């Protein structure tokens, strides 16, 4: 029993068991057969309706072409049209006679074009509309149509394509019109869209099918409520059909554009009506396909529960580890045997890596502490030989007062050096030590330099690394002080704000010749000391200590100023020793 349970719970057994439940080849054949049959029926219905629409469009285009010929012949051959190009005030009688003659002509000729509602002529200089309207019952209706014609002429007459028929959207209806121009006279034909809809109403498109006329922008001019309710998109391909709609309201859309006008004949057939033509066995195939899809969904659900979710938990835990969350663990849940082993091993491995990382981190900290102490110890013996030499020279000249002052300064200097094994000291102590060092050097080189230290009282409790200022001052004396020309050394302490963070900025300036260009380039590299003799090792040590103590939050810059010579700028975060 113990051997059977892990096997039954294994991922391999569950996977093959789920696959055997679903007959993949049979389902594939059924689905392909079903879709192929549906596609064949749709193509047949679409082609039949497309042929019907093509016949209607050709018939309409032929009628419109006859109207076009009549309009063109009238404008070219009838001399009465020329009378309308001039203001009627020039010869009112001739104008009225021409107007009446044209009206009678249109009244007699419109009967040959039953598709039309009206012929009209418009004189632009006289803003006079002559309209012959048929099939209109009342004066109000005729007046309304005349007003629509005037609106169309005012808005479209100068911009439309005179070679084609256009659709005009009126207040209550859509109209189809064609307009030709000769000089300042327009002649056109006008009809209601209802006349174009008569042949379309004869097409059997099912209970909720619809045949409509659309504009060149596929906007329907009828059945708008049904089209919006069923979410039918009337955009159609020229050589085939389109499927539109949502859910059960799926429609096949096919259409034919008119060659004479900016309109299309479009038919939308319900997909349910088309599929009713499928044979009974084909419907059974559809039901079997649906059942197969349901089984497939069940299979996907099983695979999600058995494989995807456990894998997802592992991936989530690994992403947390990648983001540095070493407390992340995979929650133990009831799952396959393989995943239980993976989860347990993963959690144990992460725990061991976390412990190892802590040990490595502690070792790294100890190494950095040792390196920092070593760097500070490198600085401590640097001054010994010069100190002994100063005492010897003062003893030779028997200047006992200077010897006493020198010894007192040296005692203070070495007392600070011996206790400077801590990582930070107060700015007050560092500046006092720097002043003490400058006094020693002033005794060593009398009349060679003067010094000044500016120390704001509210900044003296800030903590700084020990010997950071004194090292830079020592470097200044080494390279700037000479016996030929006295210089001035100043230490200026200030405060700056970077966002919400306060910073201590210390400038060490001298009035000497400044840094040579090659020295500035070498200092800008911030690498290891470039000289085998150890030149600038104090600067390198200072930078290394700042990097260990502050990482990227502190810096030392070197540059020259036109007035004050060389400048060293030390920038560290403000940290108060009393907090």
**Model confidence pLDDT, tens digit, residues 425-439:** 888 988 998 898 888
Query: What's the pLDDT band for 134 if we cut at 50, 70, 90?
Result: confident
User: CA of 443: how far to CAs of 87, 392, 399, 450, in Å?
Assistant: 116, 13, 11, 11
Quote the pLDDT of residue 532: 43
**Residue range 17-32: mean pLDDT, rounded:** 63
**Residue range 147-163: mean pLDDT, rounded:** 88
Quote the pLDDT of residue 315: 74
Apex 52 CA angle, 51 and 58, nearest 5 = 85
* CA gap 240, 261 in Å, rounded: 21
**Residue range 65-83: mean pLDDT, rounded:** 89
Average pLDDT, the chain: 79
Locate tokens 């079997």: which residue? 288
Counted residue by residue, the chain has a size of 579
For residue 390, which phi and psi values (nearest 5 degrees)?
Answer: -60, -45
CATH match of 371-573 with 3.40.50.720: no
Minimum mean pLDDT among 78-82, 287-291, 307-311, 533-537: which range? 533-537
How many CA atoms does the CB half-sphere of 92 hold within 13 Å? 1
Quote the pLDDT of residue 276: 65
Of 161-175, 199-213, 303-317, 320-334, the range with the highest mean pLDDT is 161-175
For residues 426 and 293, the model is more confident at 426
Minimum mean pLDDT among 353-362, 455-464, 560-569: which range? 353-362
For residues 299 and 552, the model is more confident at 552
Query: What's the pLDDT band for 501 if we cut at 50, 70, 90?
Result: confident
DSSP three-state, residue 534: coil
**Residue range 544-562: mean pLDDT, rounded:** 85
* CA gap 543, 549 in Å, rounded: 10
User: CA of 484: how far to CAs of 127, 190, 390, 487, in Å?
Assistant: 106, 110, 20, 10
* CA gap 424, 416 in Å, rounded: 12
DSSP three-state, residue 322: helix
For residues 52 and 320, the model is more confident at 52
Give percent of the chain above pLDDT 90.
Answer: 10
Flag whether pLDDT at 418 surpasses 70.
no
pLDDT tens string 143-152: 888 888 899 8
Query: What's the pLDDT band for 491 if we cut at 50, 70, 90?
Result: very high
Residue 495's DSSP bridge partners are 504
Query: What's the pLDDT band for 533 if we cut at 50, 70, 90?
Result: very low
Closest CA to 496 of 574, 575, 561: 574
**Residue range 23-48: mean pLDDT, rounded:** 70
Query: What's the pLDDT band for 100 if we cut at 50, 70, 90?
Result: very high
DSSP three-state, residue 177: strand
Neighbouring residues of 334: CB distance < 8 A, sequence distance ≥ 6: none
Closest CA to 127 of 161, 162, 168, 157: 157
Flag whether pLDDT at 43 surpasses 90.
no
Flag whether pLDDT at 409 surpasses 50.
yes
Q: What is the pTM of this model?
A: 0.46
- E strand segments, 134-239: 166-169, 174-182, 185-192, 210-215
Give percent of the chain above pLDDT 70.
Answer: 79
DSSP three-state, residue 260: coil
Flag whether pLDDT at 570 surpasses 90.
yes
* CA gap 556, 540 in Å, rounded: 10
**Residue range 283-304: mean pLDDT, rounded:** 71
Locate tokens 């003893």: which residue? 395
For residue 221, which phi and psi values (nearest 5 degrees)?
Answer: -105, 5
**Residue range 151-176: mean pLDDT, rounded:** 88
Domains of the chain, residue spans: 78-188, 371-573
Quote the pLDDT of residue 70: 92
**Residue range 141-165: mean pLDDT, rounded:** 88
């Amino acid at each position: 029993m113990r051997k059977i349970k892990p096997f039954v719970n294994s991922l391999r057994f569950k996977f093959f068991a789920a696959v055997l439940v679903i007959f993949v080849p049979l389902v594939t054949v059924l689905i392909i057969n079903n879709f192929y049959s549906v596609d064949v029926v749709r193509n047949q219905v679409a082609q039949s309706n497309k042929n019907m629409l093509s016949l209607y469009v050709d018939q309409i285009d032929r009628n419109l072409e006859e109207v076009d010929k009549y309009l063109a012949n009238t404008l070219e051959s009838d001399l009465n049209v020329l009378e309308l190009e001039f203001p009627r005030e020039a010869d009112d009688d001739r104008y009225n006679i021409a107007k009446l003659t044209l009206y009678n002509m249109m009244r007699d000729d419109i009967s040959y074009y039953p598709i039309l509602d009206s012929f009209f002529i418009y004189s632009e200089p006289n803003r006079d509309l002559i309209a012959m309207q048929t099939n209109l019952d009342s004066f109000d209706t005729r007046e309304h149509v005349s007003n629509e014609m005037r609106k169309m002429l005012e808005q479209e007459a100068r911009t439309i394509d005179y070679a084609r028929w256009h659709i005009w959207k009126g207040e209550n209806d859509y109209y189809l019109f064609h307009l030709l121009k000769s000089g300042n006279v327009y002649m056109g034909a006008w009809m209601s869209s209802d006349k174009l809809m008569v042949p379309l109403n004869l097409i059997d498109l099912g209970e909720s099918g619809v045949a409509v006329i659309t504009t060149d922008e596929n906007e329907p001019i009828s059945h708008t409520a049904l089209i919006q309710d069923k979410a039918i998109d009337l955009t159609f391909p020229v050589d085939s059909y389109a499927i539109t709609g949502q859910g059960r309201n799926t429609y096949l859309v096919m259409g034919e554009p008119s060659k004479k006008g900016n309109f299309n004949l479009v038919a939308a057939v319900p997909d349910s009506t088309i599929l009713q033509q499928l044979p009974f066995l084909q419907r059974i195939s559809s039901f079997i396909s649906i059942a197969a899809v349901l089984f497939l969904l069940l299979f996907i659900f099983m695979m999600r529960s058995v494989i995807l979710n456990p894998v997802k938990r592992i991936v989530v835990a690994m992403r947390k580890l990648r983001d540095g969350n070493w407390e992340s663990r995979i929650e133990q849940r009831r799952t396959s045997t393989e995943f239980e082993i993976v989860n347990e091993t993963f959690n144990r491995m992460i725990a061991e890596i976390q412990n190892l990382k802590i040990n490595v981190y502690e070792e790294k900290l100890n190494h950095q502490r040792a390196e920092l102490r070593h760097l500070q110890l490198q600085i401590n013996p640097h001054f010994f030989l010069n100190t002994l030499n100063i005492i010897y020279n003062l003893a030779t000249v028997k200047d006992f007062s200077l010897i006493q002052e020198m010894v007192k300064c040296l005692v203070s200097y070495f007392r600070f050096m011996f206790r400077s094994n801590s990582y930070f000291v107060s700015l007050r102590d560092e500046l006092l030590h720097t002043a003490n060092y400058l006094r020693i050097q002033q005794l060593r080189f009398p009349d060679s330099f003067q010094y000044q230290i500016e120390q704001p009282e509210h900044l003296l409790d800030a903590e700084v690394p020990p010997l950071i200022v004194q090292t830079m001052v020592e470097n200044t004396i080494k390279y700037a002080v000479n016996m030929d020309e006295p210089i001035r050394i100043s230490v200026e302490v200030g405060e700056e704000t970077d966002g919400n963070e306060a910073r201590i900025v210390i400038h060490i300036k001298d009035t000497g010749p400044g840094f040579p260009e090659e020295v500035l380039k070498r200092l800008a590299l911030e690498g290891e000391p470039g000289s085998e003799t150890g030149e600038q090792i104090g600067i390198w040590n200072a930078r290394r200590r700042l990097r260990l103590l502050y990482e990227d939050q502190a810096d030392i810059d070197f540059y020259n100023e036109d007035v004050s010579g060389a400048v060293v700028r030390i920038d560290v975060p403000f940290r108060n020793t009393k907090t």
